[in-house]
Amino acid sequence: DSQDLHPAVETAAEDIASMEIRGAAAIAATAAAALRAQAEASDAETPEAFRAELLAAARRLRETRPTAVSLPNAIRYVASRTEGDSVPALRESVVVSTTAFEARLERAQSELGRVGANRLQNGDTIMTHCHSTDALACVEAAVEGGKELSAFVKETRPRQQGHITARALAELGVSVTLIVDSAARHYLDEADHVLVGADSIAADGSVINKIGTSGLAVNARERGVPVVVAAQTIKLHPETLTGHTVEIETRDEREVVDDEARAGIGDVAVANPAFDVTPPRYVDAIVTESGQFPPESVVTLMRELFGEEHRDPWLD
């Protein structure tokens, strides 16, 4: 029941839904921290009551945004390690698993960064879309390895996450040029790589990422520019192994047209899908902490991680 939810869970859920906290990795880390806050503050008197509280917290977090599978994967990671016959034992198991999960996220990101960096040569130019911490980890590792890079950064309408990427890349010492989304093909001739992240990766190697990724990938293929997706294995979507599709979030139309613009255009429909699906044939490599994969082999990695049933893949 919602009265038992810790305020930190409600705050985390609101921050994720409003995109105050956004990006698949940050969403997963925030969910884990919120579950820990719930466990630490719990005054449940029985193990059953404790588990019920945790489940309610997990549900509240889960309902915020549907597309990034890192969120349910984070919850699964913690739930499968919640064990004990007493409330203190259960509480301790949640503290341990959420902390281990956060450490795992960071480690995976820096490990995949080192893999992705191997693709980048000194003097290369990348093109980015949206803001992905997994993608930025590849650039960071390349820069640490002494490579000088340039970037065309797509602003990424309607939320302009490209601004976050532009600042982050500039702080790494990358030479940044911010462009409007529709200028992407114009500048692809000058790019050596398209480098993006992912919210979910399906068993067939399809990449679900910020709306506009698929168009960018098609244009990149036409221009002969390789498309690299940086995505730790927490982005692999287990249900797609059994034929389920990934739900694409639709957001408020006011992200696209504010009240003033609405007054100008009148009563026409406005659509605002947040993500799209890039088919595997437009993706050259998926870079994970377990190495680089062609999208067609991701299914093998997923079967290894998830097994026949939905076995939890993140056993240390």
Does residue number 42 form part of the binding site for ligand RUB (CB under 6 A)? Answer: no
Task: Sheet containing 285-288: give its strands across.
Answer: 175-179, 150-154, 125-128, 193-196, 227-230, 285-288, 291-293
Six-digit token string for 233: 């294995």
Instruction: Name the residue nearer to ligand RUB (CB basis): 92 or 181.
Output: 181
Q: Which is nearer to ligand RUB, 6 or 65 (CB)?
A: 65
Closest distance to ligand RUB from the beta carbon of 209 (Å): 5
Rounded distance between C-alpha atoms, residue 232 and residue 1, angstroms: 34
Q: Quick one: 130 or 217, whose CB is closer to ligand RUB? A: 130
25 forms part of the interface with ligand RUB (CB under 6 A):
yes
Q: How far is the CB of 224 from ligand RUB (least distance, A)?
A: 23
Q: How far is the CB of 137 from ligand RUB (least distance, A)?
A: 8
Of the candidates 5, 12, 13, 23, which one interacts with ligand RUB according to CB under 6 A?
23
Instruction: Single out the residue of 133, 206, 214, 288 in contact with ligand RUB (rule: CB under 6 A).
Output: 133
Residues touching ligand RUB: how many (CB under 6 A)?
18
Counting contacts by CB under 6 A, is residue 105 touching ligand RUB? no
- The token pair at 311 is 């076995």
Q: Which of 13, 39, 71, 130 binds ligand RUB (CB under 6 A)?
A: 130
**% helix, strand, coil for the chain, step of 5:** 50, 15, 35
**132 counts as binding ligand RUB under rule CB under 6 A:** yes
Q: Note whether 219 binds ligand RUB by CB under 6 A.
A: no
Q: What is the per-residue burial (b if ≥16 Cβ within 10 Å, else e) of 151-185?
A: bbbbbbbbbbbbebbbebbeebebebebbebeebe
The reply on whether position 104 binds ligand RUB by CB under 6 A is no
Q: Figure out which of the listed residues 5, 12, 13, 24 binds ligand RUB, where binding follows CB under 6 A.
A: 24
Residues in contact with 16: Cβ distance below 8 Å, sequence separation at least 6, in sequence order: 22, 27, 30, 31, 61, 64, 65, 71
Tokens (6 digits) for 172: 């790494």
Given CA atoms 27, 33, 101, 143 in this order, what sign does their dihedral have? positive
CA distances from 211 to 110, 133, 142, 172 (A): 26, 17, 27, 26
Nearer to ligand RUB, 69 or 203 (CB): 69
Nearest CB to ligand RUB, comparing residues 125 and 156 = 156
Q: Which amino acid is at 263?
A: A
Contact pattern for ligand RUB over residues 150 through 189, marking x by CB under 6 A? -----------x----------------------------
Question: CB-hemisphere CA count at 13 Å for 4?
Answer: 19
